[in-house]
Amino acid sequence: MTFIITVLITIFLLVLIILDISNKFNITNKSVMRVLIVFIPHIVILLYLLLQNYLSNKAWGFWKYIILADNIIFVLFLLLKTNIIACSDKQKVELRLRILSGGRQLLIFSLYTGLAQILFYFISLKIIKFDAVPKYILIPDTIITLLCIVVFYINGMLRIIFVSKRINIIKKVIIVSIMFIPFINILAIIYICSAAKSEYEHECYRVVSHNMRVDSQTCKTKFPIVLIHGLGFKDYKYINYWGRIPKELIRNGATIYYGNQEAWGTIEYNAQDVKDKILQIARETGCEKVNIIAHSKGGLDARYMISKLGMEDYVATLTMIAVPNQGSRIIDFIYILPKWFYGTAGKFIDKYFRLIGDKNPDF
């Protein structure tokens, strides 16, 4: 009889692991883990009680060790899978988002495990007399419980800190500095979980939205788009001033060109650069006009080109993003500084940008 029970338990646990590995059944889904996570950290004391109360009969002999080994292997599998593949979301998203979602899930597990232990010990004190449990069982049990909470916590924090794009570097430094301060770190967990959830849902929405519109070529325009950068930057091939915006526009049907004006050229000088670029695009593509999207000082360059260099017939639209049409407080502040200071800085900047390709930098 003991042999049959041992075989059945072994087969049952093995089948669960196989079903999980083959994606037929997810053992570590949220609902199951909410129950298991209360007991998993106490594997030592639970196995001890099992051995003392149910497997103490001599009839079990060698088989009790097989049952104990089966349970230990099953628990280790659960803990390893939870820490390595924390995200159980079936939605197909990129690896970064799976890591982000998994980190949030691990932080929730950590917080839940910590709070659940209060309930566990309260109930256990009513049912189990801990005085009857040897210290060589209680001490490892306590250590393993704390390790589970800490590993979930650190793993979750590191995942989110390393992959989150929405949480800026200053906030990440603050979170790292308080993550081991008791009680205060609970506020960090609440904030970082909320931020991770918001970022994950936003990115998933973006993916779904893109998949819905990609075939419609929603960004395709009658005329090509020319992107005009702002002050202090250049249109490099591998370091894109505009981030992922050009790629998204192209994926959704747009034709993109760049202004290629100088980083520190005057408005008049840069306007001529942009004019030459647009005339070149017109010759190469045969298009009558272009749509311009300009950022910061690039908007001033574009406005001057249109109004002063006779290019109004070549521009269908001008979209300006954060353009200082009414001046700039930063520039006002710079002029409060000593003239020698910004004069020296200007000479250095002009010299540097002349070395990397600007023909007429004028800080």
Distance CA 89, CA 57 (A): 44
CA distances to 43, 44, 56, 132, 246 from 53, rounded to whole Å, are: 15, 14, 6, 12, 68
Calculate the average pLDDT of the chain: 84
Lowest mean pLDDT among 4-8, 114-118, 348-352: 4-8
- Between strands 315-321 and 256-258, the pairing is unpaired
Question: What is residue 37's predicted lDDT score, i.e. its pLDDT?
Answer: 78
What is the mean predicted confidence (pLDDT) over 133-143? 76
Distance of CA 279 to the CA centre of its chain: 42
Buried b / exposed e along 119-146 (16+ C-beta atoms within 10 A): ebeeebeeeeeeeebeeebeeebbebbe
Is 25 in contact with 16 (CB distance < 8 Å)?
yes
% of the chain beyond a pLDDT of 70: 88
Question: What is residue 325's predicted lDDT score, i.e. its pLDDT?
Answer: 94
H or E element, residue 178? helix 169-178
CA distances to 53, 87, 212, 276, 290 from 268, rounded to whole Å, are: 89, 54, 43, 13, 20
Is 302 in contact with 278 (CB distance < 8 Å)?
no
Question: What is residue 51's predicted lDDT score, i.e. its pLDDT?
Answer: 72
What is the mean predicted confidence (pLDDT) over 159-163? 93
Question: What is residue 164's predicted lDDT score, i.e. its pLDDT?
Answer: 92
